[in-house]
């Protein structure tokens, strides 16, 4: 039986029925007809026989420029993809959390001692610690886990080298930049950011990509996860998280994103072929390489293979 999560999150259905919409060829033909004479003149000035020959000559140069531009900002690849996603005959209003107020003083981050009496917990064994930690957040809407130290070490090292990523989420009421009639469940993109706020505290924040594009560094995350390393000598890292009540995100959707977060950051293992593919895609995104492919991201996030 496939073990989906080493964090003991519940498993959810895989992404299915993703549709990629084709661009309108008639629009392209209209533009070509409109500028045909100008293209012919430009070709003659370069000593070429036709506009077609001019386009062939410039094709390699154009493709090289496109690759170079995409390499600068890996988020460029997401814009066109998001615009292709649709829900037939539905127009949605974007629900924004609004930006973070840059003038508001930052609150100090919470350590493990903010939630439990750390000195008392240090006297307990691993099993007792895990039990009490889960009991502390005994709420169906809570995000809580006890992560094996070995698993966290793998994730931490990958997060240090690759502090940002994007994850697709199948969502009926997806917040998209543009709706085009189509079939299937749209995919809403989410931006992942890691922050190493203290020697024993690591945060992972997830924001809708639309929110991130709108507010940049002041974008408000809908889901925030904290990993606490104060008890690592017990071979366990304690995790807790919250989902903004005002966001359009449900607890189940947040858990689905966290499941894929584990997959791409090595928590399910780093030896299998598909695990190596996921890590390679994560690294391609962070270095801005042209080998980052949206279709591959969707495929690897759908797969239940680890």
The pLDDT, as a whole number, for residue 26 is: 40
61 with 145, same domain: the answer is: no
- Alpha helix segments (H runs only) across 73-208: 76-84, 118-121, 126-136, 149-161
Mean pLDDT of 91-106: 50
The pLDDT, as a whole number, for residue 76 is: 60
94 with 192, same domain: the answer is: yes
Helix pair 294-302, 273-287: axis angle to 10 deg? 140
Contact criterion met (CB below 8 Å) for 240 and 147: no
Q: Whose CA is closest to 255, among 130, 165, 187, 167?
A: 167
Digit-coded pLDDT (tens) for 216-225: 778 889 999 9
In a domain, 15, yes or no: no
What is the number of H-type helices and E-type strands within the chain? 11, 6
Q: Whose CA is closest to 203, among 141, 132, 143, 139?
A: 143
Average pLDDT taken over every residue of the chain: 77
In a domain, 189, yes or no: yes
> Residue 6: is its pLDDT beyond 60?
no
What total of structural domains would you count in the chain?
Answer: 2
The pLDDT, as a whole number, for residue 46 is: 72
65 with 197, same domain: the answer is: no
Please say which residue of 72, 91, 116 terminates a domain: 72
In a domain, 2, yes or no: no
91 with 156, same domain: the answer is: yes
Digit-coded pLDDT (tens) for 26-72: 434 444 455 566 667 777 777 777 777 767 777 666 566 555 544 54
46 with 96, same domain: the answer is: no
Phi, psi (deg, nearest 5) at residue 228: -110, 125
67 with 196, same domain: the answer is: no
211 with 132, same domain: the answer is: yes
In a domain, 10, yes or no: no
Digit-coded pLDDT (tens) for 130-165: 999 999 998 888 899 999 999 999 999 999 999 999
Q: Whose CA is closest to 211, among 87, 43, 94, 129?
A: 94
Q: Which domain holds residue 58?
A: 37-72
The pLDDT, as a whole number, for residue 215 is: 81
66 with 115, same domain: the answer is: no
How far apart CA 282 and CA 280 sit, in angstroms, is 5
How far apart CA 238 and CA 231 sit, in angstroms, is 8
The pLDDT, as a whole number, for residue 233 is: 96
- Alpha helix segments (H runs only) across 94-145: 118-121, 126-136
Give the 3-state secondary structure of residue 16: coil
Please say which residue of 45, 72, 99 terminates a domain: 72
Please say which residue of 48, 72, 96 terminates a domain: 72
157 with 57, same domain: the answer is: no
Mean pLDDT of 242-271: 93
99 with 248, same domain: the answer is: yes
In a domain, 18, yes or no: no
135 with 63, same domain: the answer is: no
Band of residue 292 on the pLDDT scale cut at 50, 70, 90: very high
């Amino acid at each position: 039986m496939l073990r989906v999560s080493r964090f003991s999150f519940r498993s959810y259905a895989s992404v299915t029925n993703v549709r990629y919409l084709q661009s309108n060829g008639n629009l392209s033909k209209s533009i070509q007809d409109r500028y045909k004479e100008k293209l012919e003149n430009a070709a003659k000035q370069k000593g070429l026989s036709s506009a077609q020959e001019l386009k062939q000559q410039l094709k390699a140069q154009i493709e090289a420029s496109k690759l170079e531009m995409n390499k600068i900002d890996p988020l460029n690849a997401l814009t066109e993809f998001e615009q292709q996603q649709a829900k037939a005959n539905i127009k949605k209003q974007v629900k924004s959390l609004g930006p973070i107020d840059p003038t508001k003083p930052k609150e100090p981050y919470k350590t493990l001692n903010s939630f439990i009496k750390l000195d008392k917990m240090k006297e307990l064994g691993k099993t007792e610690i895990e039990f009490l930690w889960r009991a502390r957040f005994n709420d169906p809407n809570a995000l809580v886990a006890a992560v094996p130290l070995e698993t966290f070490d793998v994730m931490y090292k990958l997060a240090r080298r690759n502090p940002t990523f994007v994850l697709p989420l199948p969502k009926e009421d997806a917040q998209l930049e543009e709706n085009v009639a189509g079939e299937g469940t749209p995919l809403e993109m989410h931006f992942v950011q890691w922050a190493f706020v203290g020697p024993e505290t690591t945060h992972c924040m997830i924001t809708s990509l639309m929110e991130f594009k709108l507010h940049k560094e002041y974008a408000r995350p809908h889901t925030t996860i904290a990993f606490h390393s104060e008890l690592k000598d017990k071979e366990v890292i304690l995790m807790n998280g919250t989902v903004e009540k005002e966001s359009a995100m449900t607890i189940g959707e947040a858990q689905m994103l966290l499941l894929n977060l584990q997959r791409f950051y090595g928590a399910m293992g780093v030896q299998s072929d598909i695990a190596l593919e996921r890590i390679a895609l994560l690294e391609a995104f962070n270095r801005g390489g042209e080998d980052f492919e949206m279709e591959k991201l969707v495929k690897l996030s759908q797969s239940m293979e680890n």
